[in-house]
Structure 1
Amino acid sequence: MQLLNLQDTIKFMSIRRFTLAFSLLLIIGSLASFATKGINWGLDFTGGSLIEVSFAESADLQKIRSVMDEEGFRDATVQNFGSSKDVLIRMAPLENAGKTTADSKMVGDRIMKSLTAMDDTATMRRIEFVGPSVGSELREQGGLAMLTALICILIYVAMRFEWRFAVGSVSALAHDVIITVGLFSVLGIEFDLTVLAAVLAVIGYSLNDTIVVSDRIRENFLKMRQGDSEEIIDTSLTQTLNRTMVTSITTALVLVALLLVGGELIKGFATALLFGVVIGTYSSIYVASSIALGLGISKEDLMPTVVEKEGADQDPMMP
């Protein structure tokens, strides 16, 4: 399958300074959002109780908040979940909210009793409880998982290709992670374990694309006799553009379907992956390659090392 019929080489690297400035602006914006708004951590990371309630008619969120206030949960979050008839109630861990699953069930029964008194069609769909210590541990382990993945990728790419490619690849991956998580911070979307899994999948997707591009760049450095480093990188990116576009578009189509019909439980996962595919495709073209070029990658860096055999410098005619 070929999307583009490319006859001429696209000058990708001619605008690399603008794209790097754009990426730097996005990273600064993401970090500023982290510092000011923070991240809307989900129940998996903060701990607490979550109750999903269904009603026969559209739920009155204001009345439900009043019920929660009367029960002593003034900081509870009440919002629609998927439809106006379904409501999601999130409560931070409180001393009177219980610290075990059994205590959480008692709290849920108490809240459901009050909601049923308000509207007898109220039905509990599910209840979840995560202790604060477990949530904190998940948050730390999740961050450690991403850091470990980036370090392992740095080592692999440095051994597989060249250290300049490794720095470019890991910079592109860090760029993708920061901006993807920054999107969740700016929009206030809940960041839970499914979103963390999506971020790790974005790392794998972006790395795969970057490896393909790096392999073609290395191949052309060894094959092309004419052209400087910038021209060779432009040629390599042009040659892999069709493959990149086909992969990105087919992946995006699946993710759009998940986002539209997958329901609220998978919405965060699909959003993170869809945005990650877009930003990962961009970074594999402009960030990884631009950084490798900026570090001075050249033909000499990729030439195989010639190993001289012992005695090769001696005259074969001599006894």
Structure 2
Amino acid sequence: MRLKIVPDNTKIDFIGYHKLAIGFSIILVVVSLGLFAVRGLNLGIDFLGGIMLEVKTEGPADIGTFRSDLGSLGLGDVGIQEFGEPDVLLIRVQRQPGGDEAQQAAIKTITETLGDRVVEYRRNEVVGPTVGAELQEAALIAVLAAIGAILVYIWFRFEWQYGVGAVIALSHDVIATIGLFALFQLEFNLSTVAAILTIAGYSINDTVVVYDRVRDKLRRFKKLPFEELFNLAINKTLSRTVMTSFTTLLALLALLFFGGEVIRDFVIAMIWGIVIGTYSSIAIAVPLLLYMRPRRGDEDEAPTGEDATSKGTAPEAG
């Protein structure tokens, strides 16, 4: 017996609610951009440059004492947080004036101050400001290049209307993910950029599947109203879309609970991206075609069997 989360022959009126969905998405994008402008992103050492230490203490750590001791060293901004377990801390220190010698001297000062309270140094990273700035630029170029390449791909595979719809939906997903990181101040680093690019690939895969069915229906049912035709296409792919997202989320939830703190922010970005990407493929990418009117094909058939709509077209037997 096959597992079915969504029945095969659903007849949900997605297009009937498309204005509500688009309005919600506009609000989501505006709020995300506002959060980004006001709160900014919690950029990691990858982008800012500085020192990051992951340490294991003997027993649960007293973060207040650690913060007080390290704050008195005159090293500038020092951030300390638990990293998955009470006896594991992540220590971030802003980059020190001077070259590598200044950074190594700061690390030595920190280790001497922590003394016997630390039983293991699990990670020790130093990133320069030049490298951090270059990584920021490279990350932005990577995201924009991915969106541009997707636009060209969809344009050539379908038509320009599909390409515009896909890029708007994809940009919606990326901005919403950045808004999530700005809201909760999750660390934004190279792993997060990798997550955003992965989300882009996943989202566009969903969108292409639905668009392919839309194009097929446009060729077959030349006189069927766009609203009914788009609903038909979405409902025909709904079971596949939901099942794919569900199984992917199962794997991501396992990583979230058992993968450790090192990949936690990456996994959160992926989970959010899967949810928002699935939503945008259905509620944004296809309804936008209503306003761009892609061309129809030459065939003209009445929808039969599973393609029958809820407007009274009777399904054929068998």
TM-score normalised by length of structure 2: 0.90
| Alignment-derived partner of residue 261 in structure 1 | 258
SS at the partner of 2:6? coil
In 1: Cα distance, 2:196 partner to 2:253 partner: 17
1:281 and 1:243 mapped to 2: Cα distance?
Answer: 11
CA distance in 1 between counterparts of 2:118 and 2:82 reads 16
Q: Which residue of 1 aligns with 2:302?
A: none
**Alpha-carbon separation, structure 1, partners of 2:93 and 2:24:** 39
Deviations 1:137-181 (A, max 9, x none): 101110111111111111111111011111000000000000011
The aligned counterpart of 2:99 is 99
- Is the aligned partner of 1:240 residue 2:237? yes
Structure 1: any 5+ residue segments left out of the alignment? Answer: 305-319
**Correspondence 1:138 to 2:135:** yes
Task: Determine if contact 1:157/1:163 at 8 Å carries over to the other structure.
Answer: yes
Match of residue 206, structure 1, among 203, 208, 217: 203
Tell me, yes or no, if structure 1 residue 3 matches structure 2 residue 5.
Answer: yes
The superposition leaves residues 284-318 of structure 1 with CA deviations (integer Å, 9 ceiling, x where unpaired) of: 0011111111222342xx559xxxxxxxxxxxxxx
Residue 225 of structure 1 deviates from its aligned partner by: 4.9
Residue 257 of structure 1 and its aligned partner are, at CA, apart by 0.6
Unaligned runs of 5+ in 2: 300-318
204 and 166 in structure 1: CA distance in 2 versus 1, 3 angstrom threshold: same
Deviations 1:165-203 (A, max 9, x none): 110000000000000111000111000111110000000
Equivalent residue, structure 2, for 1:75:
77
SS at match of 2:9: coil
Distance apart, 1:103 and its partner CA:
4.3
1:115 aligns with 2:114: yes
Structure of higher CA gyration radius: 1
Other-structure match for 1:28: 30
Equivalent of 1:275 in 272, 275, 278: 272
1:56 Cα deviation after fit: 1.4
Contact 2:95 2:103 in 1 (8 A): no
> 3-state DSSP class of the match of 2:42?
coil
Q: Provide the C-alpha distance between the structure 2 equivalents of 1:64 and 1:158, rounded to a whole number of angstroms.
A: 56
Give the AA of the match of 1:189: L
* CA RMSD between the two structures: 1.5
Q: Distance in 1 between matches of 2:53 and 2:294?
A: 55
Q: Which residue is equivalent to 2:64?
A: 62
Whether the aligned pair in 2 keeps the contact of 1:49 and 1:90 (CA below 8 Å) is: yes
For the residues of structure 2 that align with 1:4 and 1:70, how far apart are their CA atoms? 59
CA distance in 2, matches of 1:24, 1:87: 39
Aligned 8 A contact 2:63 2:80 in 1: yes
Match of 1:313 in 2: none
Deviation at 1:106, TM superposition (A): 3.2
> How big is the shift at 1:4?
2.2
Relative distance call for 1:121 and 1:209 in structure 2 (3 A) is: closer
**Cα–Cα, structure 1 residues 15 and 298, in superposed 2: closer, same or farther, change >3 Å?**
farther
